[in-house]
């Protein structure tokens, strides 16, 4: 059974359909991508998966349990973590504090524990600090811990966001355009990091991406969205040669023919 299953999902805003009857599945242990032209509804899919939007119809199941009626924080607790298309770091806090956010849902000390300095509080704080440092190390920026997140170079901010998502101990990691704004060598590092997350940590990855080269290189399975509908699905080879996909990206043949004429 697939780790994530989307069945018959539709989403509309004030009568405008954003997603139409979408079926899609992500196999456990895979790196899967969702591609499509601008405005195809890719980020809307992520927002439905993470509980920020409530789909009008359809079901979303994560490891067999329904998540489509849950609030975002509950979805995260069940093992689904995300990054944002435009970085959403806590900019005025340090990189370590940012990553510590990911540990919130896996710890439980309350305000009273903190005020009284209970053993539970002290033990958890030590573990949270250790985890933050470990995840920053995993993404390759161990020295950034005490730096204010907003002051880090862009590529490092991206890594902080990844470390923060990983710290929630997800089973499935959703990456929203992770390569946006990165140069070629940074993209290579990103691909290597994605493979390490999957191979070393056993975390399944679902990614939305504009960069076709990156998607084709890294994904095992690709779904293509256009105008809120899935128009193709399959291996990179299959999708690349699908006439519907080519049409969606390049426009229809007749247009090209008439332009050429």
> What's the min distance (Å) between Cβ of 123 and another protein?
10
Residue number with CB closer to another protein (69 or 88): 88
Q: For residue 144, give the 3-state DSSP assignment.
A: helix
Give me 203's structure tokens.
């975390």
> What's the min distance (Å) between Cβ of 20 and another protein?
25
The phi, psi pair for 252, rounded to 5°, reads -80, 155
Q: Taking CB under 8 A as the criterion, which residues in 180-219 touch another protein?
A: none
Q: Considering only residues 22, 26, 70, 97, which one is a binding residue for another protein as defined by CB under 8 A?
A: 97
Residue number with CB closer to another protein (20 or 106): 106
Give me 32's structure tokens.
């899967």
Give me 7's structure tokens.
């069945």
Q: Does residue 37 contact residue 26 with C-beta atoms inside 8 Å?
A: no
Residue number with CB closer to another protein (74 or 238): 74
Q: Taking CB under 8 A as the criterion, which residues in 118-177 touch another protein?
A: 121-122, 124-126, 128, 164, 168
Residue 190, exposed/middle/buried by CB under 10 A (0-12, 13-18, 19+)? buried
Contact letters for another protein, residues 22-51 (x by CB under 8 A): ----------------------------x-
Q: Taking CB under 8 A as the criterion, which residues in 73-92 touch another protein?
A: 73, 76-77, 81-82, 84, 88-92
Q: Which of 165, 211, 203, 227 is nearest to 26 (CA)?
A: 203
Residue number with CB closer to another protein (111 or 184): 111
| Residue owning tokens 């199941």 | 61
Residue number with CB closer to another protein (110 or 251): 110
The phi, psi pair for 11, rounded to 5°, reads -140, 135
> What's the min distance (Å) between Cβ of 171 and another protein?
13
Q: Which of 171, 172, 151 is nearest to 89 (CA)?
A: 151
- Cα 71–chain centre separation: 17
Residue number with CB closer to another protein (104 or 227): 104
> What's the min distance (Å) between Cβ of 21 and another protein?
26
Q: Which of 11, 63, 33, 40 is nearest to 175 (CA)?
A: 33
Using CB under 8 A as the criterion, which residues of the chain lie in contact with another protein when the complex forms?
50, 52, 71-73, 76-77, 81-82, 84, 88-93, 97, 100-107, 109-111, 113-115, 117, 121-122, 124-126, 128, 164, 168
């Amino acid at each position: 059974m697939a780790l994530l299953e989307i069945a018959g999902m539709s989403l509309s805003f004030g009568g405008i359909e954003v997603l139409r009857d979408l079926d899609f599945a992500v196999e456990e242990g895979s790196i899967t991508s969702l591609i499509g032209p601008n405005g195809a509804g890719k980020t809307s899919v992520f927002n439905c998966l993470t509980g920020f939007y409530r789909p009008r119809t359809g079901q979303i199941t994560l490891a067999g349990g329904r998540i489509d009626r849950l609030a975002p924080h509950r979805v995260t607790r069940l093992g689904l973590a995300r990054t944002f298309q435009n970085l959403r770091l806590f900019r005025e806090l340090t990189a370590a504090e940012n990553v510590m956010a990911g540990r919130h849902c896996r710890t439980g000390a309350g305000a009273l524990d903190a005020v009284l300095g209970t053993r539970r509080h002290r033990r958890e704080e030590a573990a949270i600090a250790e985890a933050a440092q470990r995840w920053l190390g995993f993404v390759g920026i161990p020295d950034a811990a005490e730096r204010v997140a907003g002051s880090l170079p862009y590529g490092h901010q991206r890594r902080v966001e990844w470390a923060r998502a990983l710290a929630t101990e997800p089973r499935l990691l959703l990456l929203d355009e992770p390569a946006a704004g990165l140069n070629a060598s940074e993209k290579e590092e990103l691909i290597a990091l994605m493979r390490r997350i999957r191979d070393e940590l056993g975390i399944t990855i679902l990614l939305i991406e504009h960069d076709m080269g990156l998607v084709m290189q890294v994904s095992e399975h690709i779904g293509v969205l256009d105008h809120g509908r899935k128009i193709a699905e399959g291996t990179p080879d299959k999708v690349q040669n699908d006439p519907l996909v080519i049409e969606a990206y390049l426009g229809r043949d007749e247009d090209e023919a008439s332009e050429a004429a």
